[in-house]
Chains A and B, each alone.
Chain A
């Protein structure tokens, strides 16, 4: 699971008011190189929750994203490389996503998060 996916998911357990962002417990992270698409990154910059991405990338062991950003930083190729790497090249292979309100763990195996809710959580 890429961090772009993480950035759009939230815990949907009955009664949870703010299920975003899911906390990441990383047991195994893999990196897969993909070609960078600058236009796409610029569009995503407007849409991602930046703090959630920074925290998620740190939980995955990547500490190169700056905490404070504004759109002028998009002129920097170095920044785009880092943003690209964090958003699209880091994959959570084994671990869990944890609901920020209830602490409920959604396990991640072979890169696939199991977000299936129990009957009493729907």
Chain B
């Protein structure tokens, strides 16, 4: 599938009917979502034929993008039932099989190492400090191959240091810098639209590096 085609399909998805500020619900726009998954697939082979989990899926955009790029199994998780309802309608309309789970991403219990790739647009931690890094910590435990995530560019050094030192990531690379358009959705937004610089990251969890180095050795 071409990038433009993917972006076009994602542009037709329903978004949050009533966004909840405490969950930092900002839609992942089609521009960002299509580039994130397109890069994951075409530069790294982390999507097609893989098991992909979307952490904090909201209305399901990233998981839908993964399914459109031929992920074999997509598991999308969110705490908010209304978002999940919209997300499952979005998946149905494109005739995609996606599994949804209602849970706090930080509380879910996992067995084994079935998930290859975690994709996420985590809460940026503006309302609840550190929320994005809490998500990242779990993602790096669950994924066996790679984690793709968005974090504010202003936190770049901190994200890198924390991923490598505290979460045991074997690599943490910024793939590109993107503009995240946040429309005026909440009362505390003073401007009509805000442009936030965000980094698209690719992290490799530690266990993967171990198995890679075993093979090379």
Question: Which A residues fall within an 8 A CB radius of B?
Answer: 1-2, 4-5, 7-12, 19-21, 32, 34, 37, 39-40, 44, 47-49, 88, 110-117, 122
Q: How many A-B residue pairs have CB under 8 A?
A: 82
> Does B193 reach chain A (CB closer than 8 Å)?
no
Q: Would you call B42 an interface residue if the criterion is a C-beta within 8 Å of the partner chain's C-beta atoms? A: no
Whether A10 pairs with B102 at a CB distance below 8 angstroms is no
Check if B101 is an interface residue, CB within 8 A of chain A: yes
Residues of B within 8 A of A116 (CB): 79, 102-104, 107
Main secondary structure of the interface of A (DSSP, over half): loop
B109 / chain A contacts, CB cutoff of 8 Å: 9-12, 19-20
Whether A20 contacts B107 in the complex (CB less than 8 A), given A5-B75, A37-B49, A37-B72, comes out as no
Least CB distance, A55 to chain B, in whole angstroms? 14
Say what secondary structure dominates the interface of chain B.
loop
Contact A115 B102 (CB under 8 A): yes
A2 touching B107 in the complex, CB below 8 Å, given contacts A49-B112, A110-B88, A115-B101: no
Chain A nearest Cβ from B137, distance in angstroms: 15
Smallest CB-CB separation from A99: which chain B residue? B109
> What residues of chain A lie closer than 8 Å to B73, measured between beta carbons?
2, 4-5, 88
Nearest CB to that of A87 among chain B residues? Answer: B73
B203 to chain A, nearest CB (A): 20
A114, chain B: closest CB distance, angstroms:
5
Closest chain B CB from A120 CB (angstroms): 13
B115 at the interface (CB under 8 A from A): yes
Complex interface: chain A residues within 8 A of B104 (CB): 116-117
Interface presence of B51 (CB below 8 A) = yes
| B72, B111, B112 pick with most chain A CB within 10 angstroms | B111
Q: How far is the CB of A111 from chain B (nearest CB, A)?
A: 7
Partner of A40, one of B49, B102, B115: B49
Q: Which of B102-161 contact A (CB under 8 A)?
A: 102-104, 107-115
Asked if B102 contacts A114 (CB within 8 A), the reply is: yes
Question: Taking the nearest CB of chain A, how far is it from the CB of B39, in angstroms?
Answer: 22
Q: Taking CB as reference atom, which chain B residue is nearest A115?
A: B103
Which B residues between 75 and 91 are near A, CB-CB below 8 angstroms?
Answer: 75, 79, 84, 88
> Does B177 sit within 8 A of A, measured CB to CB?
no
Given contacts A10-B109, A48-B114, contact A111 B79 (CB under 8 A): no
Contact of B111 among A2, A20, A122 (CB under 8 A): A20
Q: Can you give 13 A-B contacts (C-beta < 8 A)?
A: A4-B73, A7-B112, A8-B110, A8-B111, A9-B110, A12-B109, A20-B109, A37-B72, A47-B112, A112-B100, A112-B101, A114-B102, A115-B103
Q: In the complex, are the beta carbons of B88 and A112 less than 8 A apart?
A: yes
